[in-house]
């Protein structure tokens, strides 16, 4: 006999082997809170949106940023600020729309796709922020070189000593190293959190996709 | 949500609770995890209940939500223990009318199913619940042909696990 047919025969008798939950047992369960991965993704995504928005506010109080505000840099700061808010608004809207479309009554494959899509929106937002931060740092440095008297003095001293190249090289390497380390730390953090949270989902989604190849 | 909705839901789930128990039995291997998954499935069913229109049977609707929760939404609290615990008191396979050989074979079969991956388990579950390939393919979101092909592969895989 086919193995599964044998199993099916027994499976039907399984019914009596489970503890029977009462009306009250089930009623108590519906009052409890879910701990599904969708809920976790929602919480983590909200935290990410908050983190990146608060970060720019927090930096406004920073001494060096205050100094920066005294420069003639509105031509760069205003467009950058507008862009960052527009992008935040756009991503949050797409994220919320995707999140709302997640339905447990969809087919397994479609449910997985929607969860991954929601997660991808936040991932794109983070990627945008990283690129945006790099661009902002580069623009800020150009403005500093143009308008920060201390820095201009340093450049002039280096030029007078014939060490211009050395100065710029050290400066560039330092900036790149700091950026790379920051990005690596962030990526590690993401890899740990989402890697663990979505490992099983990704594995199962790959398995399902393989079936339809 | 209104009390009558709650009442209607709890009553229907109480009657059909075995579907959830069976999903939990396939996807967990100890009583704590079983209870934990049962609870999450119940919460997900309850959350989705207001949109349940009744154009399919409550039990049919339950299969999808229960499987989706087990495969996709459920976040295990503890690391799943690899060793099989299918012989625990609650799940003991009773051999009332089977001879020893059949009982032994069943035990091995349950253990073999436990070794399948999450997607394969879902297909086996629906198959054991007498669902046809159309329903299986709709629940999983794959084509009917592929569901059939996969099911045959699972049968072969089970044979290999049983007779290495």
Reported as a pLDDT band with limits 50, 70 and 90, residue B87 is very low
Rounded to the nearest angstrom, the minimum Cα separation between B14 and chain A is 6
Rounded to the nearest angstrom, the minimum Cα separation between B97 and chain A is 11
Whether residue B34 has pLDDT greater than 80: yes
Residues B57 and B129 in one domain: no
Q: Look at residue A155 in the predicted model and tell me its pLDDT.
A: 87
How many Å apart are CA B95 and CA A14, to the nearest integer? 12
Residues B69 and B105 in one domain: no
pLDDT above 90 covers a percentage of chain B that reads: 59
| Least confident among A42-46, B4-8, B10-14, B93-97 | B93-97
Burial class (CB in 10 A: 0-12, 13-18, 19+), A45: buried
Residues B105 and B160 in one domain: yes
Residues of B in contact with A209 (CB under 8 A): none
Reported as a pLDDT band with limits 50, 70 and 90, residue A69 is confident
How many Å apart are CA B93 and CA A201, to the nearest integer? 31
Q: A-B interface: how many C-beta pairs under 8 angstroms?
A: 161
Residues B40 and B99 in one domain: no
Comparing CB atoms, the residue among B38, B65, B155 nearest residue A104 is B65
pLDDT tens digits along B96-153:
444 568 778 888 888 899 999 999 999 999 999 999 999 999 999 999 999 999 999 9
Residues of B in contact with A107 (CB under 8 A): 64, 138-141
pTM of the model: 0.83
DSSP, collapsed to helix, strand or coil, labels residue A25 as helix
Residues B99 and B162 in one domain: yes
Q: Look at residue B82 in the predicted model and tell me its pLDDT.
A: 47
Write phi, then psi, for A43 (nearest 5 degrees). Answer: -60, -50
Reported as a pLDDT band with limits 50, 70 and 90, residue B77 is low
Residues B40 and B109 in one domain: no
Comparing CB atoms, the residue among A10, A29, A201 nearest residue B39 is A29
Q: Look at residue B154 in the predicted model and tell me its pLDDT.
A: 93
Residues B97 and B74 in one domain: no
Whether residue B88 has pLDDT greater than 50: no
How many Å apart are CA B3 and CA A9, to the nearest integer? 39
The residue with greater pLDDT, A137 or B91, is A137
Rounded to the nearest angstrom, the minimum Cα separation between B158 and chain A is 8
CB-hemisphere CA count at 13 Å for B122?
A: 28
Rounded to the nearest angstrom, the minimum Cα separation between B74 and chain A is 5
Comparing CB atoms, the residue among B72, B113, B162 nearest residue A115 is B72
Taking the Cβ of residue A196 and every Cβ of chain B, the question of whether any pair is shorter than 8 Å is answered with no
Residues B58 and B11 in one domain: yes
User: How many domains does one find in chain B?
Assistant: 2
Cβ separation B119–A211 shorter than 8 A: yes
Contact (CB, 8 A) for B24 and B76: no
Last residue of a domain, one of B38, B57, B85: B85
Residues B11 and B35 in one domain: yes
pLDDT tens digits along A7-44:
888 888 776 678 889 999 999 999 999 889 999 999 98
Which of A:59-118 have CB within 8 Å of B? 103-112, 115
Rounded to the nearest angstrom, the minimum Cα separation between B84 and chain A is 18
Residues B80 and B100 in one domain: no
Residues B66 and B110 in one domain: no
Taking the Cβ of residue B87 and every Cβ of chain A, the question of whether any pair is shorter than 8 Å is answered with no
Residues B155 and B80 in one domain: no
Average pLDDT over residues A50-57: 80
What are the distances in angstroms from CA B42 to CA A45, A75, A171, B159? 25, 56, 59, 34
Domain containing B102: what range? 93-164
Mean pLDDT of chain B: 84
Reported as a pLDDT band with limits 50, 70 and 90, residue A76 is confident
pLDDT tens digits along A113-158:
999 999 999 889 888 988 988 888 888 888 888 888 888 888 888 8
Taking the Cβ of residue B113 and every Cβ of chain A, the question of whether any pair is shorter than 8 Å is answered with yes
| Least confident among A136-145, B63-72, B89-98 | B89-98
> Which of B119, B120, B131 is most worth mutating to test chain A (most A CB atoms within 10 A of its CB)?
B119
| Least confident among A5-19, A127-141, B7-21, B54-68 | A5-19
Taking the Cβ of residue B53 and every Cβ of chain A, the question of whether any pair is shorter than 8 Å is answered with no
Nearest CA in chain A to B150: A211
Taking the Cβ of residue B32 and every Cβ of chain A, the question of whether any pair is shorter than 8 Å is answered with no
DSSP, collapsed to helix, strand or coil, labels residue A98 as helix
Q: Look at residue B136 in the predicted model and tell me its pLDDT.
A: 94
| Least confident among A94-108, A149-163, B69-83 | B69-83
Q: Look at residue A60 in the predicted model and tell me its pLDDT.
A: 66
Residues of B in contact with A6 (CB under 8 A): 102, 105-106, 109
Average pLDDT over residues A109-116: 95
Whether residue A167 has pLDDT greater than 50: yes
Last residue of a domain, one of B60, B85, B110: B85
Last residue of a domain, one of B69, B85, B101: B85
**What is the CATH number for B127?**
1.10.10.10
Taking the Cβ of residue A4 and every Cβ of chain B, the question of whether any pair is shorter than 8 Å is answered with yes
């Amino acid at each position: 006999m086919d193995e599964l047919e044998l199993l099916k025969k027994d499976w039907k008798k399984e019914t009596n082997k489970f503890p029977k939950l009462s009306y009250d047992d089930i009623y108590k369960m519906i009052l409890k809170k879910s701990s599904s991965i969708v809920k976790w993704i929602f919480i983590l995504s909200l935290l990410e949106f908050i983190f990146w928005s608060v970060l720019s506010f927090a930096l406004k109080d920073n001494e060096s940023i205050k100094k920066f505000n005294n420069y003639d840099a509105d031509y760069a700061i205003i467009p950058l600020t507008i862009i960052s808010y527009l992008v935040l608004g756009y991503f949050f809207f797409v994220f919320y729309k995707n999140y709302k479309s997640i339905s447990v009554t969809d087919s397994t494959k479609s449910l997985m796709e929607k969860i991954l899509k929601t997660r991808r929106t936040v991932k794109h937002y983070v990627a945008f922020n990283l690129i945006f931060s790099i661009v902002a740092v580069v623009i800020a440095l150009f403005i500093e070189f143009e308008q920060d008297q201390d820095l201009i003095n340093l450049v002039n001293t280096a030029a007078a000593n014939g060490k211009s190249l050395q100065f710029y090289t050290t400066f560039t390497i330092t900036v790149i190293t700091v950026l790379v380390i920051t990005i690596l730390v962030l990526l590690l953090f993401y890899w740990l959190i989402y890697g663990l949270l979505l490992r099983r989902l990704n594995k199962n989604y790959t398995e399902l996709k393989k079936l339809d190849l | 949500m209104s009390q009558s909705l709650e009442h209607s839901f709890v009553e229907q789930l109480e009657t059909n609770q075995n579907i959830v128990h069976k999903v939990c039995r396939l996807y967990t291997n100890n009583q704590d995890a079983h209870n934990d998954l049962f609870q999450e499935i119940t919460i997900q069913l309850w959350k989705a209940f207001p949109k349940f229109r009744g154009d399919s049977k409550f039990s049919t609707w339950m299969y999808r939500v229960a499987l989706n929760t087990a495969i996709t939404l459920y976040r295990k609290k503890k690391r799943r223990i690899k060793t099989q615990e299918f012989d625990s008191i609650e799940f003991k396979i009773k051999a009332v009318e089977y001879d020893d050989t059949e009982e032994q074979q069943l035990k091995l079969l349950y253990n073999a199913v436990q070794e399948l991956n999450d997607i394969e388990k879902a297909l086996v579950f629906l198959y054991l619940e007498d669902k046809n390939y159309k329903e299986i393919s709709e629940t999983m979101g794959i084509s009917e042909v592929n569901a059939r092909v996969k099911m045959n592969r699972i049968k072969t895989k089970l044979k290999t696990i049983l007779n290495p």
